[in-house]
């Protein structure tokens, strides 16, 4: 009838125009808040003095320039005062060639944007249960995760030095966890291994978890990327494999606080070099066996994010040099602890681990040693705190294996020190 208001019929399952816009508005707000929150971090490191800014990225770029200009890649150093040599496998110099074609300021900003793009992918994959549980609050949850992860010390150092750690984490994570990848599984791990060798531990992980075809694909990819430079730059390639690779001093002082590998912790004890080598061999073997056993057990119980995080921690612990910025794997450990965020114990463990890797614990140990260099209690405490990140990583690996082993009959619920979540 005329004069009567016509009732609006809403078809079930169809959103009104305003409701369709809500997710867009929510994600836009989340992005704006995230950018505002990480802007101080980015501006802090990218406004450093020019000779202190993204020094590792400068190494990559110089490697690319050396390749393009026909210079000896492993003899050439970055400009003073850094004077840093190229330390990566030859294929990394070939891949870095595009960096040499762009102006340095452009390269810095593009690389930094790439770091955060890789972080976004890692968070979307590793924290999938938590983000799914967040429902309509997913944009806000993702923003919180992104901001918190960006301020982890290993992630800050990605930006400070212009590092590749989060890229390698992303490649290995995707290769291990994507259910139906459009690429042959193992290829991304092969690429990561060719760039920085240590991700080669993931080839072992694929093999022991029964994914032999993927392990083979990773091995073949690595071999191909390592053989290509023998054709393109044979002299530089020979120099790397028969000289530069064996000189661990090229990457910096191995006993520096920032080296949180097992070897770095042993070197800071200043024992006899022969004894240090023996202890390192024993500890690397023990931790490696325990770590791969834990990773296999986690994989067999469908906890692959946790398994990948354990293998990732091994890449830093077992390497002769495991700098703080190599510990981007801790993001996966936090994700494995948090899961869907519904357990107070897991939430506490994840928050504790985040706090530990946000506070510069190793440098607090240096401060203790400097304040009381002759006091035995302060010396012991200082050394332990100085090795804080490495010791936490070892603890995570060992406790995870201990709680998963067949003979364990105690409470297997997750704690702040372990990754299991039964």
Whether the Cβ atoms of residue 260 and residue 393 lie closer than 8 Å to each other:
yes
- Predicted pLDDT at 371: 86
Most confident among 22-36, 143-157, 242-256, 404-418 (mean pLDDT): 143-157
Whether the Cβ atoms of residue 326 and residue 165 lie closer than 8 Å to each other:
yes
Q: How confident is the model at residue 4 (pLDDT cuts 50, 70, 90)?
A: low
- Predicted pLDDT at 1: 46
C-alpha 18/C-alpha 38 separation (Å) is: 30
Better-predicted residue by pLDDT, 419 or 411: 419
For the segment 162-186, the average pLDDT, to the nearest whole number, is 95
On the question of pLDDT at 420 being above 80, the answer is no
For the segment 278-289, the average pLDDT, to the nearest whole number, is 97
Partners of 323 in the β-ladder: 259
Q: How confident is the model at residue 422 (pLDDT cuts 50, 70, 90)?
A: very low
User: What are the helix and strand counts (H, E) for the chain?
Assistant: 21, 0
- Picking from 111-115, 120-124, 190-194, 247-251, which range would have the lowest pLDDT averaged per residue? 247-251
For the segment 160-174, the average pLDDT, to the nearest whole number, is 96
Q: How confident is the model at residue 196 (pLDDT cuts 50, 70, 90)?
A: very high
- Picking from 53-57, 66-70, 369-373, which range would have the lowest pLDDT averaged per residue? 369-373
On the question of pLDDT at 21 being above 60, the answer is yes
Residue 310: C-alpha distances to residues 17, 333, 399 (Å): 46, 8, 11
- Predicted pLDDT at 404: 85
What percent of the chain lies above the pLDDT cut of 70?
Answer: 92
What percent of the chain lies above the pLDDT cut of 90?
Answer: 69
Burial of 40 (0-12, 13-18, 19+ CB in 10 A): exposed
Whether the Cβ atoms of residue 342 and residue 133 lie closer than 8 Å to each other:
yes
What count of residues does the chain have?
A: 422
Residue 124: C-alpha distances to residues 2, 121, 127, 170, 335 (Å): 54, 5, 6, 11, 10
- Predicted pLDDT at 416: 35
- Is residue 77 helix, strand or coil? strand
Report pTM: 0.90
Q: How many other C-beta atoms lie within 10 A of the C-beta of residue 44?
A: 12
What tens digit of pLDDT does each residue of 256-280 get? 999 999 999 999 999 999 999 999 9
C-alpha 185/C-alpha 272 separation (Å) is: 44
Mean of pLDDT over the chain: 89
Q: How confident is the model at residue 421 (pLDDT cuts 50, 70, 90)?
A: very low
Q: How confident is the model at residue 159 (pLDDT cuts 50, 70, 90)?
A: very high
């Amino acid at each position: 009838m005329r004069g009567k208001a016509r009732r609006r019929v809403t078809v079930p399952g169809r959103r009104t125009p305003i409701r369709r816009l809500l997710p867009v508005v929510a994600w836009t707000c989340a992005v704006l808040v995230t950018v505002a929150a990480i802007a101080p971090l980015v501006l802090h490191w990218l406004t450093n003095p020019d000779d202190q800014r993204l020094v590792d990225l400068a190494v990559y770029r110089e490697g690319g320039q050396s390749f393009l200009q026909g210079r000896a890649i492993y003899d050439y150093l970055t400009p003073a005062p850094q004077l840093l040599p190229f330390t990566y496998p030859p294929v990394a110099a070939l891949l870095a060639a595009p960096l040499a074609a762009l102006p340095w300021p452009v390269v810095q900003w593009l690389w930094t944007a790439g770091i955060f793009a890789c972080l976004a992918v890692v968070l979307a994959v590793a924290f999938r249960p938590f983000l799914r549980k967040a429902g309509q609050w997913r944009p806000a949850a993702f923003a919180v995760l992104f901001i918190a992860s960006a301020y982890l010390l290993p992630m800050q150092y990605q930006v400070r030095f212009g590092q590749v750690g989060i890229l390698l984490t992303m490649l290995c994570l995707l290769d291990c966890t994507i259910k139906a990848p459009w690429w042959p599984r193992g290829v991304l791990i092969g690429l990561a291994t060719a760039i920085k060798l240590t991700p080669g531990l993931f080839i072992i992980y694929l093999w022991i978890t029964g994914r032999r075809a993927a392990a083979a694909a990773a091995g073949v990819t690595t071999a191909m990327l390592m053989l290509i430079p023998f054709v393109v730059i044979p002299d530089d390639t020979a120099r790397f494999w028969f000289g530069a690779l064996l000189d661990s001093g090229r990457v910096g002082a191995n006993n520096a606080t920032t080296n949180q590998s097992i070897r770095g912790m042993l070197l800071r004890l200043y024992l006899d070099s022969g004894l240090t080598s023996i202890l390192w061999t024993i500890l690397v073997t023990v931790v490696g066996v325990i770590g791969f056993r834990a990773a296999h057990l986690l994989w067999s119980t469908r906890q692959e994010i946790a398994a990948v995080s354990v293998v990732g921690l091994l890449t830093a612990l077992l390497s002769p040099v495991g700098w703080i910025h190599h510990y981007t794997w801790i993001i996966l450990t936090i994700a494995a602890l948090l899961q869907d965020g519904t357990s107070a114990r897991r939430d506490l463990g994840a928050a504790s681990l985040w706090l530990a890797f946000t506070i510069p614990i190793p440098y607090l140990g240096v401060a203790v040693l400097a304040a009381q260099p002759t006091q035995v209690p302060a010396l012991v405490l200082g050394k332990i705190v100085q090795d804080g990140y490495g010791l936490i990583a070892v603890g995570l690996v060992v406790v995870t294996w201990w709680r998963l082993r067949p003979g364990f009959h105690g409470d297997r619920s997750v704690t702040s020190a372990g990754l299991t979540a039964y």
